[in-house]
Amino acid sequence: TEQVFGHLKDEFYTGREFASYEEFKNELDAYIIHWNTRRRQIRLEGHTPEEFRNMSLTA
């Protein structure tokens, strides 16, 4: 969990300013979708979670 928050801070939050809570929430929601579907991960052999799921369904 701490590792996820570290990545969130480094990749999403650091150096950014948001005009409103709504903007922050919308951007965070989009980042979470990116994290869960499109972000390449070393533990998945460099695949995105979406690619990894599709590979396991076809195997």
Work out the pLDDT band at 59, boundaries 50, 70, 90. low
- Which candidate, 45, 46, 47, 18, places its Cα nearest to that of 31? 18
Residue-wise pLDDT for 40-56, tens only, equals: 888 888 898 888 888 87
Q: How many CB atoms lie under 10 A from the CB of residue 29?
A: 10
* Cα(41)–Cα(24) distance, integer angstroms: 24
pTM given for the model: 0.68
Work out the pLDDT band at 37, boundaries 50, 70, 90. confident
Domains of the chain, by residue range, sit at 16-58
